[in-house]
Amino acid sequence: MTHYALEVRNLTKKIGKKMIVEDVTFQVEKGEIFGLLGPNGAGKTTIIRMIVHLMNRTRGNVVISGHDLDQSFKEAMGEVGAIVENPEFYKYMSGMKNLKHYMRMATKDISDERLNEVIHLVGLEQAIHQKVRTYSLGMRQRLGVAQALLHSPSILILDEPTNGLDPQGIREFRDYLRLLANQGISVLVSSHLLSEMELMCDRFAIIEKGKLTHISRMNETVDNKSLTKQHVTFEVSNGEQAWNLLINHSIGEEVKVEADFIYASMDRETVAKANQLFVSNGLQVYEISYLKTSLEDRFLELTNKDKKEQSI
Ligand SMILES: Nc1ncnc2c1ncn2[C@@H]1O[C@H](COP(=O)(O)OP(=O)(O)OP(=O)(O)O)[C@@H](O)[C@H]1O
Ligand SMILES: [Mg+2]
């Protein structure tokens, strides 16, 4: 029987009369990076805290690598590595000493071989004997991942791991996660940024006011991009001439012109063709932009609505 790395069924949290999380159900496959995407206050942290048992569930099941949290708590938790709040380290001690301290407190025996393995995995070999106080935020984050991985969990759970990292740090972090996934470790990660989820995850779920409203698989989105027609805008040096070129060559559908902007519906290959046609006829093309996909629209609408509510 094949197990999911994580299975969450009807996860629900009610505090007083308020529904914080309602009937959230999803599965994370082995070696998959799965995202929870939602605006501030959507319930991402609450979902994660219930999965790692930092908070009681009102209702629902959590099964980790085939172990039900209610029936085999120890086995289930043994399969999870998590960073929920910022990982706390002793700043006056080296990264190595911090990890060794953690090893001594762990319920499971961890070998020195495993210790060196995780240090290598997160690329901290050079800095591991330096005091944590000298580490950048990105390095601390990696030390946190190393610590979470020490007991060889099958799933790593990270709540907004890229918060505070610069673009370079975010990119590196993404690469580490992919490296882990390629070794068969699953990752559950939360974020409020769609662009980040798109780059980082194989699939992600949208969380809206405590409910899971949509699950998206990334390669499907990429395929769609190249195959389906999208609304596209060209900004050119001469709109009239560009419009004539498209019409005469029967390129694109719903082609409209407004000053030096051309609006049309076409797939990506046709966009490239149109661009070539413009340029070879002496036109300047200043910008080509796609109208946001419906998923993006929906997510932005969601986040903006939320911001408005917060500012009232
Ligand atoms: N202990 C609590 N008592 C009452 N309400 C709570 C409690 N914990 C969380 N909430 C509420 O539950 C909702 C979800 O919070 P949660 O922290 O899970 O959201 P989040 O998606 O992680 O948001 P963020 O992006 O800001 O981290 C919020 O409206 C929050 O105010
Ligand atoms: Mg949160």
Spatial CB neighbours of 6, under 8 Å, sequence gap ≥ 6: 27, 28, 34, 51, 62, 63, 64, 65, 155, 186, 188
Domains and CATH numbers, the chain: 4-222 (3.40.50.300), 225-290 (3.30.70.980)
Rounded to whole angstroms, the Cα distance separating 188 from 169 reads: 19
pLDDT score, position 173: 85
pLDDT score, position 12: 97
Backbone angles phi, psi at 215, to 5 degrees: -120, 130
- pLDDT, averaged across the chain: 88
Rounded to whole angstroms, the Cα distance separating 189 from 202 reads: 11
User: Which segment of 24-33, 57-66, 146-155 scores lowest on mean pLDDT?
Assistant: 146-155
**Residue 192 Cβ contacting ligand 1 at under 6 Å:** yes
Helix (H) or strand (E) holding 212: strand 211-217
pLDDT band at 311 (very low <50, low <70, confident <90, very high): very low
Q: Where are the alpha helices (DSSP H) in the chain?
A: 44-51, 73-78, 95-105, 112-121, 137-149, 167-182, 194-200, 218-227, 239-248, 268-280, 294-311
Q: In this predicted model, what pLDDT tens digit does every residue of 241-263 receive, in sequence order? A: 999 999 999 999 999 999 999 99
Q: In this predicted model, what pLDDT tens digit does every residue of 192-230 receive, in sequence order? A: 888 888 889 999 999 999 999 888 877 655 445 555 677
Spatial CB neighbours of 21, under 8 Å, sequence gap ≥ 6: 11, 12, 13, 43, 46, 47, 50, 210
Residue of 18, 22, 45 to test ligand 1 pocket, by largest number of atoms within 8 Å of CB: 45
Residue having the nearest C-alpha atom to atom 27 of ligand 1: 40
Rounded to whole angstroms, the Cα distance separating 33 from 197 reads: 10
Q: pTM of the prediction?
A: 0.77
Q: What residues have their beta carbon closer than 5 A to ion ligand 2?
A: 44-45
Contact indicator for 46, 13 with CB cutoff of 8 Å: yes
Of 56-70, 101-115, 165-179, 217-231, highest mean pLDDT: 56-70
Contact indicator for 10, 25 with CB cutoff of 8 Å: yes
User: Which segment of 77-86, 108-117, 271-280 scores lowest on mean pLDDT?
Assistant: 77-86
pLDDT score, position 222: 47
Helix (H) or strand (E) holding 19: strand 18-28
Rounded to whole angstroms, the Cα distance separating 237 from 174 reads: 39
Q: In this predicted model, what pLDDT tens digit does every residue of 115-170 receive, in sequence order? A: 999 999 888 999 999 999 999 888 898 899 999 999 889 999 999 888 878 888 88
pLDDT score, position 141: 87
Helices and strands (DSSP H and E) totals, the chain: 11, 14
Contact indicator for 254, 305 with CB cutoff of 8 Å: no
Residue of 20, 192, 194 to test ligand 1 pocket, by largest number of atoms within 8 Å of CB: 20
Contact indicator for 126, 94 with CB cutoff of 8 Å: no
Q: How far is CA 287 from the centre of its chain?
A: 29
Residue having the nearest C-alpha atom to atom 29 of ligand 1: 41
The structure tokens 């301290």 sit at 101
Residue having the nearest C-alpha atom to atom 2 of ligand 1: 15
Residue having the nearest C-alpha atom to atom 26 of ligand 1: 40
pLDDT score, position 165: 80
Q: In this predicted model, what pLDDT tens digit does every residue of 111-129 receive, in sequence order? A: 999 999 999 988 899 999 9
**Residue 119 Cβ contacting ligand 1 at under 6 Å:** no
Cα of 155 vs centre of ligand 2, distance in Å, is 19
Rounded to whole angstroms, the Cα distance separating 162 from 166 reads: 8
Rounded to whole angstroms, the Cα distance separating 188 from 33 reads: 6
pLDDT score, position 312: 44
Q: Which atom of ligand 1 is nearest to the CA of 39?
A: 25
